[in-house]
Chain A
């Protein structure tokens, strides 16, 4: 009914304007013509344009139009595209978003194609391919890349403090006294009078350089903030992953870790949450305001791009389990269920997920491709640029990663956990207050 109203009004307006509305001719066959592909990271645009060209060379009857739009606009315009039926045939997909798309039947299942074309999901790094299988057991994406967490640190400030690269690579942590991680952070902290954080007379209210930088409270995931610590305690975000139905923010193990984390602020070793709303943590790092920054591998380019700042990359500390831990997140390419050229789209997605394209991506040294051999090439490409990224890749090699928590209601969970974690990290509430938030979160799944 609604549609009709709009339709007739449209017709009326068209008549008034004496326009001849020209519908786009969409009679092309399903396996031919131009398909649209979207991604958000502009740094990867050259690589994927190259892939598109190579792909057209191999499949002369298909061309790929690559469109890039920034993260902030990406999801809004994509949703509008879903509603209007104008979404791109293929697009870069995120784990935090795709459960919602599955629920609303916006994604094309790839199982038949993957079986028919013998796509080897074993070529991808362990676990990545499984991330993109929905609760219904169907596959909704082919992995394109992955990321882990490591510690970026300012080598000059560390050396000044007598902290060596070897020490940085061998940190330990526990939630009780923080282990050598906390000792190092304390030692790297310097107040206005030049007194270090572990020395007598340290003025925690006038800190010049913080030992550890802070991006934010981490909301419910703490991907770069605290998950590399909580992951070593045996704690997991959800009862199972993927598709957990119950969150564990009420676990004392977790709350203990968060109390330690928030305590760093109180001790003056980490900036107050309220002071971190503004310039990115990386920029304040470059300005010499903090020495260690835990951050994701997608930020390598940013951290190594500053002039006059020497950056070292150390693995995350060994924790309670005696091992390191890093959240393991991956992107994939998905196909829009409303595509008019499913066959061409599938060909393109398979090409994106193939060694041919992922090697091209690897050569640009921006991210780690999903295919194991391509990821190795990326490590080499980074090395050629003078950046040692083993701190990121060793987590995968050693099997110390855990998967990004995938669950329904991601946005609603975030809506509850963001304010709750903000309150804790800013010292306005104890970590035990997260129990109440956890109840709210779990109520979403009832």
Chain B
């Protein structure tokens, strides 16, 4: 990546500096700080709870520090406590194979994200850049799928996967997601609409095929939205719960959300294993955070960069 600096932003910045309205900027920073605080502070409570002992949480409800500091919750998440120890700590007696769940979650989220984003990009290209009869009708239909209440689809899809003999397999888990997500198509179409046709038309005059245009012009130019979309899709898939719960009951394909679901309240009127739940939340968010830390910079850069080869 050669030109990493976004011209737009740098210009705005420099013009800003010339004007004597620095208070405006500091005001803006205050707003950003508030937004960040609101977003992040609850996570302190998550951490504080994760480091607490369950039996002491309620008695120290207003204490800002961990109540009875203890790493037991994290041990539970990694399946390092015996069932008896876990129950004594206010956890459940369920066995946890953390690393297997992690592997399954990574596979599930990665496969569905990569595949859905790619196929959705293809479809979005057809909806935004190609001219064909019935295009808007078909697009409206696709868009409408976003409005189908999930209650409708879960059961028939479950039956379908079952009839294909794919229950408790990774393929069965990913299948409904790999072809597209309506959101991804919609999202990319909106971006493709905004792209200039000039280069595309020029390429066409040069005799380039649609396939080449798609791969060599459209995709590279949409790097930023594609990366954003991939990240958001990945997070969404990472947190997917109900479908994996239905289809991936088997230990071998159980994903993190389902495996760590045992920290929620297991019986009516019972309280959740709060510290375990919060530790699980932190630990399961970590891989996505790492992902963001690694690719976040790339996303920033590619967003500012809008070049063609």
Answer yes or no: A and B touching, Cβ < 8 Å: yes
- Name A's B-contacting residues (CB within 8 A): 6-7, 9-10, 13-14, 19, 21-24, 40-46, 67-73, 77, 80, 83-86, 215, 224, 279-288, 295-296, 298-299, 301-302, 305-309
Residue of A nearest to B61 (CB): A287
Interface on chain B toward A: helix, strand, loop, or mixed SS? Answer: helix
Please, what's the 1-or-0 string for B148-161, where 1 marks a CB less than 8 Å from any CB in chain A? Answer: 00000011101110
Q: Which residues of B sit under 8 angstroms from A43, Cβ to Cβ?
A: 87, 92-93, 266-267
Could you say which residues of chain B place their CB within 8 Å of the CB of A19? 164, 171
Compute how far the CA of A68 lies from the CA of B268 in the bound complex, rounded to whole angstroms.
14
A80–B175 alpha-carbon span in the complex (Å):
19
| B93 touches which of A46, A73, A285 (Cβ 8 Å) | A46
Interface residues of B in 252-269 (CB under 8 A from A): 261-262, 264-269
A301 CB contacts on chain B under 8 angstroms = 87
Complex CA gap A71/B83 in Å reads 19
A22 to B83, alpha carbons, bound, how many Å?
A: 36
Task: Say yes or no for B166: interface residue by CB 8 A criterion.
Answer: yes
Closest Cβ–Cβ distance, residue A336 to chain B (whole Å): 15
Q: Which of B59, B155, B264, B270 contacts A306 (CB 8 A)?
A: B59
The range of chain B's interface size is: 35 or more
| Distance A15 CA – B262 CA, assembled complex (angstroms) | 38
Task: Give the interface of B toward A (CB within 8 A).
Answer: 53-59, 61, 68, 83-84, 87-88, 90, 92-94, 154-156, 158-160, 162-167, 171, 175, 245-246, 249, 261-262, 264-271
Whether A307 lies near B56 (C-beta < 8 A) is: yes
Mind listing 24 A-B residue pairs with CB under 8 Å? A6-B163, A10-B160, A10-B163, A19-B171, A41-B267, A42-B93, A43-B267, A45-B83, A45-B94, A46-B93, A68-B93, A68-B262, A73-B261, A80-B155, A83-B158, A84-B159, A215-B269, A281-B269, A283-B58, A286-B59, A295-B269, A298-B267, A307-B53, A307-B55
Whether the pair B264, A72 counts as a contact (CB closer than 8 A) is: yes
Residues in B with CB closer than 8 Å to A83 are 155, 158-159
CB B156 to nearest CB in A, in angstroms, measures: 7
Q: A68-B93, A70-B262, A306-B59 are in contact. List 13 more A-B contacts (CB 8 A).
A: A40-B266, A42-B262, A45-B83, A70-B266, A70-B267, A83-B155, A84-B162, A282-B271, A283-B271, A287-B61, A288-B59, A302-B270, A309-B59
Contacts of B83 in A (CB 8 A): 45-46
Q: In the complex, are the beta carbons of B59 and A287 less than 8 A apart? A: yes
Q: In the assembly, what is the distance between CA of A24 and CA of B270, in Å? A: 37
List 7 A-B pairs, minimum CB-CB distance, nearest first: A42-B92, A286-B58, A45-B93, A307-B55, A280-B271, A21-B165, A283-B58
Known A80-B155, A287-B61: A23·B162 in contact at CB below 8 Å:
no
A70 → B minimal CB distance (Å): 4
Chain B hits for A287, CB < 8 A = 58-59, 61
Check if B53 sits within 8 Å of A80, measured CB to CB. no
Are B266 and A71 in contact, CB atoms less than 8 angstroms apart? yes
Residues of A within 8 A of B266 (CB): 40-43, 68, 70-71
Report chain A residues within 8 Å CB of B156. 6
Give the CA-CA distance A151 to B108 in the complex, in Å.
48
Kindly list chain A residues whose C-beta atoms are within 8 Å of the C-beta of B93.
42-46, 68
Docked-complex contact B56 and A42, CB < 8 angstroms: no
Cα separation A43 to B194 with both chains bound (whole Å): 56
Q: Contacts A43-B93, A45-B94, A46-B93: A23 and B57 contacting too (C-beta < 8 A)?
A: no
- Chain B residues contacting A24 (CB-CB under 8 Å) are 165
What is the CA–CA distance of A67 and B61 in the complex, to the nearest angstrom? 34
Residues of A contacting B246 with CB < 8 Å?
77, 80
Instruction: State how many angstroms separate the Cβ of A306 from the closest Cβ of chain B.
Output: 5
Residue of B nearest to A22 (CB): B165
B164 CB contacts on chain A under 8 angstroms: 10, 13-14, 19, 21
Contact (Cβ within 8 A) B162 A308: no
B residues near A281, Cβ cutoff 8 Å: 269
Q: Given A68-B262, A71-B267: A42 and B58 within 8 A (CB)? A: no
A21 proximity list for chain B (CB < 8 A):
164-166
Q: Which residues of B contact A6 (CB under 8 A)?
A: 156, 159-160, 163
- Within the complex, which residue of A46, A70, A299 is in contact with B264, where a contact is CB–CB below 8 Å? A70
Which residue of A69, A283, A296 is within 8 Å of B57 (Cβ)?
A283
Question: What A residues does B270 contact at CB under 8 A?
Answer: 71, 280, 299, 302
Q: A46 is contacted by which of B54, B61, B84, B167 (Cβ under 8 Å)?
A: B84
B55, B166, B245: the one within 8 Å of A77 (CB): B245
| Given A70-B265, A286-B59: A307 and B68 interface contact (C-beta under 8 Å) | yes
List of B residues within 8 angstroms of A84 by Cβ: 158-159, 162
Complex: A305 Cα to B274 Cα, angstroms? 14
Query: CA–CA, A207 to B164, complex, Å?
Result: 61
* Cα–Cα, bound, A46→B265 (Å): 17
State in angstroms the CA–CA spacing of A166 and B128 once bound together.
79
On whether the beta carbons of A306 and B55 are closer than 8 Å, the reply is: yes
A301 to B83, CA, bound (A): 15
Known: A43-B266, A46-B83, A84-B158. A305 touches B165 (CB 8 A): no
A295 to B171, CA, bound (A): 45
Chain A residue contacts of B88, Cβ below 8 A = 305
Q: Which residues of B contact A308 (CB under 8 A)?
A: 56, 59
Q: Bound complex: CA of A118 vs CA of B159, how far in Å? A: 39
Residues of chain A contacted by B68 (CB below 8 angstroms) = 307
Q: Which residues of B contact A77 (CB under 8 A)?
A: 245-246, 249
What are the residues of chain A within 8 A of B58 when measuring CB–CB? 279, 282-287, 306
Q: Are A70's CB and B261's CB within 8 A?
A: yes
Report the bound CA distance from A288 to B60 in whole Å. 10
> With the chains together, A68 CA to B154 CA distance in Å?
21
Closest to A94 in B: B268
B175 / chain A contacts, CB cutoff of 8 Å: 13
Bound Cα distance A120, B208 (Å) = 83
- The answer to whether A80 touches B265, judged by C-beta atoms less than 8 angstroms apart, is no
> Knowing A43-B92, A46-B83, A46-B84 touch, does A86 contact B162 (C-beta < 8 A)?
yes
